[in-house]
Structure 1
């Protein structure tokens, strides 16, 4: 016969252990964000120590060390915010897990930055500030430092509130604000700023229109036909060929510029050849993959999943090749000015600066990227592999069109605009089908209030993102001006 006292003691012990376990779980939950902050701080310190290896004996080494620290901070924020646009659609469509997306993006972003990143970058961000207006190297260094700090702070804030913004535009605003603070309004190239402002509208609208057009094509030629599998065998290889052509042309212009300068017509020729090759390769593969699939939409998702994963990887590679150099441009400018004692319009980016950019992006993506990836991939509108593929395809084609037209566009605005384009097209298409059903009396009429409730794009996210886009350049410019006055006062 058991002792009642022992039984009560065991029950009390179990309760106490349960309480301790709850405290441990709660502690882990609370400290989880601190882990990311701690690892980020370690990376930033290591970036500063790495810069000491190159400039430890220089009289201006403390300036380069501080710039490396801020550059690492900027790179972390790029990974947390900007990369989500490339991986969000694939994750939202369930073609990739979050872990798989982060791994692919980290590898492709780093490879793009280190292998195909521009060896020469316009340190005043595409000619926004005239170097002659800030000839004093000390003033120039503080201006670039202020631009770096303000851009990083703004992207950090945008990530915190869940708004995907353009890091390139953040740097543009930072450079503009610091330039105005240092040399007045006359230092700014206002026509260039006007073109950049126009891209705020052109980028998302063009991306959205192209994505909606491809989705309309897929619906008409594949989804709403009697034999979906036969239609997929015919058209999916064509879409893969178009994707290959767009990415080949884009990477030919951006990725080969270290070796040879390629004009738009040559790049389009390279893209056409790549498209034909990939069409020839993918046609038998799609035919083999489609054998035994049921004639339903769920089967189509299988055929689009692998092309979607490949397109996400290529988008990340292209982003690393193009946008990372722009983001670390102010850091490269500071290094050049500190080493040679003069400002320059264009400088070579040192390898260690590109390494800081590439590694910072990877760490930022790993530690803080999932929040924005989920938002872009699933919280704006519901995506499946077909819709997400339209987003990726639109992003590549829009960049090619913009390059041909000579427009400065943002990959962030294009990708997110494409997601909105897909969502708004789905709304329009669902509304049209509902009207046709009501007219034919095939289905029960849907009240107007119910149709409004069924909107397929979340308006709250739409308004938040558009507002963040509009104020990115002014906000980062104001932050940069304040940062310049503070840094200049400290330096003096």
Structure 2
């Protein structure tokens, strides 16, 4: 392959790194996998030794639900931390331990402040409200969905299939809901909306990430004086990120405690973000001896994107834990009030954060230090696009897969880079037919993997949830 064609390798190289990262993910996830097997065995033992019938049914069900929900929180926190922290650690933007702590705090904040919409959607938005007000069927359905999700996540990880917790939970709730309340009690329109978002969200992420790369490359990376361009644009981009994100968080706080915080917080954060970003950038440029490398330029902005990614992840994925638990704790009252207890969101966020702190180190070291997916510039575009899409989905109460959205961003960055390269050098020799076919196969394989995981997960978890719910209702005497 000639040097002139080397730039076409970028997307395929990044996709290849995802494949290696997925293998590392399965290896690093092994301790959590064994913990999942132990949790499922413990839950089975509880049911077999005590039974779910009689006066102890609600207590036993809640205890089993807490055990499974706790493991799911650890699994989510340990499995997804590399999406946000891996590139930043690999780029040297932050150390491993401070990064883990920072992401864990951001996840708790996102879960507590912004996790209510997704939680409410999963807890009560997929069923007819009147159906939830009849007896203890709703808590049993949610317990079935929790256990079905845990079984599938554990089994899929064991066979090496990358699956989404959000997809698993939606399928489990749908299947258990049909068993508990009947086919017509499920809001199929809401399920269709969620499924369509699973398709659209990666495409939006790809568009946003690609547009960011085109803008930043034309303004900074390809500028005649990259150092001066970075001094002008990077602080502006960082200030905009800090200001908008702080304003969003302030609005969420206002909804909890009242007051008028958004405007002053937004203005102050924008100004502070500009000053801090400028100082960090000057320090990076000085440390590089005046060589404005992409790695040095984007380190400060990448750090802000990591915080946003952690917050977005906590906001969206907390519903997979807090949604079922809210119904199990609050019962039919949730369907009438639509209120999610703050302590449930905070506890679920803490479980995710604990998984990040206890089990995330191993994966981040492997992905971030050994097989970093992207350089700092491309990682910044993907991280920011993913955070924006996931935060928007969370605000609308739509559960999505953070990993799938991030992969969409990687495709967008890769295609944008290739488009710019072809536009810059129109005389480039065409790729050999064999090379073109090889790259098409690489790219199609990643799309196929995501599609297969999506297609298989929902019906399988629905069947698992339905079967478990049928058994639990029979033992409870409600069938």
Please classify the TM superposition score into its range, dividing by the shorter chain length.
0.7 to 0.9
Pick one of 67, 70, 89 that aligns with 1:69: 67
After superposing the two structures, state which structure 1 stretch, 205-214 or 121-130, moved more: 121-130
The alignment status of 1:462 with 2:457, answered yes or no, reads no
The alignment status of 1:274 with 2:272, answered yes or no, reads no
Offset of residue 237 of structure 1: 0.9
The alpha-carbon distance between structure 1 residues 40 and 90, as it changes in their structure 2 partners (threshold 3 A), is farther
Offset of residue 248 of structure 1: 2.2
Q: Distance in 2 between matches of 1:261 and 1:481?
A: 45
Pick one of 220, 223, 229 that aligns with 1:222: 220
The alignment status of 1:358 with 2:349, answered yes or no, reads yes
SS of equivalent to 2:256: coil
Counterpart contact for 1:215–1:387, Cα < 8 Å: yes
The alignment status of 1:37 with 2:34, answered yes or no, reads yes
The alignment status of 1:415 with 2:406, answered yes or no, reads yes
Q: Distance in 2 between matches of 1:452 and 1:426?
A: 19
Deviations 1:401-436 (A, max 9, x none): 5578x5836261433322232233334444555643
The alignment status of 1:346 with 2:341, answered yes or no, reads no
The alpha-carbon distance between structure 1 residues 242 and 409, as it changes in their structure 2 partners (threshold 3 A), is farther
Counterpart contact for 2:312–2:394, Cα < 8 Å: no
Pick one of 294, 311, 314 that aligns with 1:300: 294
After superposing the two structures, state which structure 1 stretch, 288-297 or 370-379, moved more: 370-379
Offset of residue 324 of structure 1: 1.4
Which residue number corresponds to residue 380 of structure 2? 389
The alpha-carbon distance between structure 1 residues 41 and 355, as it changes in their structure 2 partners (threshold 3 A), is farther
Map 1:216-295 onto structure 2 (within 5 A).
Answer: 216-260=214-258, 271=266, 274-291=269-286, 293=288
TM-score (norm 1): 0.74
Which residue number corresponds to residue 135 of structure 1? 133
Q: Distance in 2 between matches of 1:118 and 1:132?
A: 21
The alpha-carbon distance between structure 1 residues 64 and 374, as it changes in their structure 2 partners (threshold 3 A), is same
The alpha-carbon distance between structure 1 residues 471 and 58, as it changes in their structure 2 partners (threshold 3 A), is closer
Q: Distance in 2 between matches of 1:474 and 1:490?
A: 24
Map 1:66-465 onto structure 2 (within 5 A).
Answer: 66-91=64-89, 93=91, 95-96=93-94, 101-114=99-112, 118=116, 121-122=119-120, 124-125=122-123, 127-160=125-158, 165-260=163-258, 271=266, 274-291=269-286, 293=288, 299-337=293-331, 346-349=338-341, 351=343, 353-354=344-345, 356-366=347-357, 369=360, 382-399=373-390, 406=396, 408=398, 410=400, 412=402, 413-432=404-423, 435-438=426-429, 446-450=431-435, 453=438, 459-465=444-450
Offset of residue 344 of structure 1: 5.1
Provide the aligned C-alpha RMSD in A: 4.3
Offset of residue 112 of structure 1: 3.9
Q: Which has the larger radius of gyration?
A: 1
* Unpaired stretches in structure 1, ≥5 consecutive residues: 1-29, 50-56, 439-444
Which residue number corresponds to residue 16 of structure 1? none
Which residue number corresponds to residue 24 of structure 1? none
Q: Distance in 1 between matches of 2:199 and 2:35?
A: 38
Deviations 1:223-263 (A, max 9, x none): 1122111111111112212321342244234454322399x
The alpha-carbon distance between structure 1 residues 272 and 166, as it changes in their structure 2 partners (threshold 3 A), is farther
Offset of residue 77 of structure 1: 2.5
Q: Distance in 1 between matches of 2:56 and 2:254?
A: 34
Offset of residue 389 of structure 1: 0.9
Which residue number corresponds to residue 5 of structure 1? none
SS of equivalent to 2:127: coil
Counterpart contact for 2:334–2:340, Cα < 8 Å: no
Counterpart contact for 1:109–1:358, Cα < 8 Å: yes
Counterpart contact for 2:112–2:345, Cα < 8 Å: yes
Counterpart contact for 1:245–1:275, Cα < 8 Å: yes
Offset of residue 90 of structure 1: 2.6
The alpha-carbon distance between structure 1 residues 307 and 198, as it changes in their structure 2 partners (threshold 3 A), is same
* Unpaired stretches in structure 2, ≥5 consecutive residues: 1-26, 47-54
Counterpart contact for 2:36–2:71, Cα < 8 Å: no
Q: Distance in 2 between matches of 1:454 and 1:435?
A: 20
Offset of residue 145 of structure 1: 0.6
Pick one of 475, 478, 491 that aligns with 2:460: 475
Which residue number corresponds to residue 486 of structure 1? 471
SS of equivalent to 1:290: helix
